[in-house]
Amino acid sequence: MQKTKQPSAGARRAVGKRSGSGSGWSRWVLGGWLMLALWLGVEFARMPDVSSLRTQNPRTTALMAQRAEEALEAGKKPRARQSWVSLGAVAPHAVDAVLISEDARFYKHEGVDWTEVENAFQQSVREARLGRGASTLTQQLAKNLYLSTDRSLLRKGKELLIARQLEDRLSKQRILALYLNVVEWGEGVYGIEAAAREHFGLPARSLSVAQGAMLAAMLPAPRRWLPAQRPETLRTRAGVIIGRLEREGRISGAQAREAQAELSRFFGEPSAPDLVAEAS
């Protein structure tokens, strides 16, 4: 009868090490999930009560406080220009321009646009670098109201939690109105009414299609892409927004042509055909 060969002591130790290693890794993973669940529970309990925003406008925001602190550190006097207005006091095409620029699916998601998140991830993989952001208008509002501008994962997690609260407690129209009144539109300029007066010398209800498109085009870099400085990037983005407004039926062909002509007059040069193409 053939004897079964027993593993050597060294082999038994190796198997034991591998088994122990796997068990240790599992414990680390489980511990990580438990810590994440604990953090989410603590942060959820500490979430701001957004219910008051249904009827009350915030006196200030986390972003305004951060900008004031930055100004003081730079030896400057903090500046904050803001005038609250209702959605009815803003030119409709200006509101549409902001939505098309910042969150075209605003009325279709519940705070997080997973379609846009997937598209942004795929773009990052294709280009082997961090690409466009995927924050919805609601997420941007959460960040402006309660958080900082840092790009940490913890801050992003808080932003998602607050965005869900905003969507649960407030109507879409109220979220949009709050956003338009607190978003940054230049150094010390907050909200579309102050922006319209600061950059074009008129109220938000009187903004032309081109002016609304320029304000919307500023939002990714509101303290750098200033109309007074006539940056090429601003003209290009505004032209793209006008093209999208026309394609989606928000403005007529005649309005689009007049808006493009106004951009040309404002920037002092004709619009190239490719400037009204769809943004990539």
Question: Which residues neighbour 223 within 8 Å (Cβ) at sequence distance 6 or greater?
Answer: 184, 186, 187
The pLDDT value recorded for residue 142 is: 96
Q: Could you give the number of structural domains in the chain?
A: 1
In a domain, 64, yes or no: no
In a domain, 63, yes or no: no
Domain of 265, in residue numbers: 83-272
- pLDDT of 221 strictly over 70: yes
Q: Tell me if 226 sits within 8 A of 243, measured CB to CB.
A: no
Q: Tell me if 110 sits within 8 A of 86, measured CB to CB.
A: no
Secondary structure of residue 170 in the 3-state scheme: coil
Distance, in Å, from the CA atom of 80 to the CA atom of 66, rounded to the nearest integer, reads 12
256: domain CATH number?
Answer: 1.10.3810.10
Q: Which residue has the higher pLDDT, 8 or 244?
A: 244
Distance, in Å, from the CA atom of 256 to the CA atom of 241, rounded to the nearest integer, reads 10
Average pLDDT, the chain: 84
SS (H, E, C) 173-203: HHHHHHHHHHCECCCCEECHHHHHHHHHCCC
The pLDDT value recorded for residue 111 is: 76
Tokens of 266: 């404002």
Distance, in Å, from the CA atom of 49 to the CA atom of 97, rounded to the nearest integer, reads 30
Closest CA to 112 of 146, 140, 135: 135
pLDDT digits over 27-65, tens only? 776 776 666 556 556 555 567 889 999 999 999 999 999
H-only helix segments in the chain: 9-45, 62-73, 92-102, 114-127, 137-146, 153-169, 172-182, 192-200, 209-218, 232-247, 253-267
pLDDT digits over 223-244, tens only? 999 999 999 999 999 999 999 9
Instruction: Quote the Cα angle for 175-154-56, to 5°.
Output: 25
DSSP assigned state of 209: H
- pTM score, two decimals? 0.77
In a domain, 5, yes or no: no
Distance, in Å, from the CA atom of 268 to the CA atom of 280, rounded to the nearest integer, reads 25
Distance, in Å, from the CA atom of 93 to the CA atom of 208, rounded to the nearest integer, reads 8
Secondary structure of residue 268 in the 3-state scheme: coil
pLDDT digits over 152-193, tens only? 778 888 899 999 999 999 999 999 999 999 999 999 999 999
* Backbone dihedral region for residue 230 (phi beyond 0: left; psi -120 to 50: alpha; all else: beta): left
Tokens of 169: 């407690």
In a domain, 74, yes or no: no
Q: Span 253-267, mean pLDDT?
A: 98
Distance, in Å, from the CA atom of 26 to the CA atom of 192, rounded to the nearest integer, reads 52
In a domain, 158, yes or no: yes
- pLDDT of 280 strictly over 50: no
Question: Which residues neighbour 14 within 8 Å (Cβ) at sequence distance 6 or greater?
Answer: none
Confidence tier at 25 by pLDDT (50, 70, 90): confident
Q: Span 59-81, mean pLDDT?
A: 94
In a domain, 169, yes or no: yes
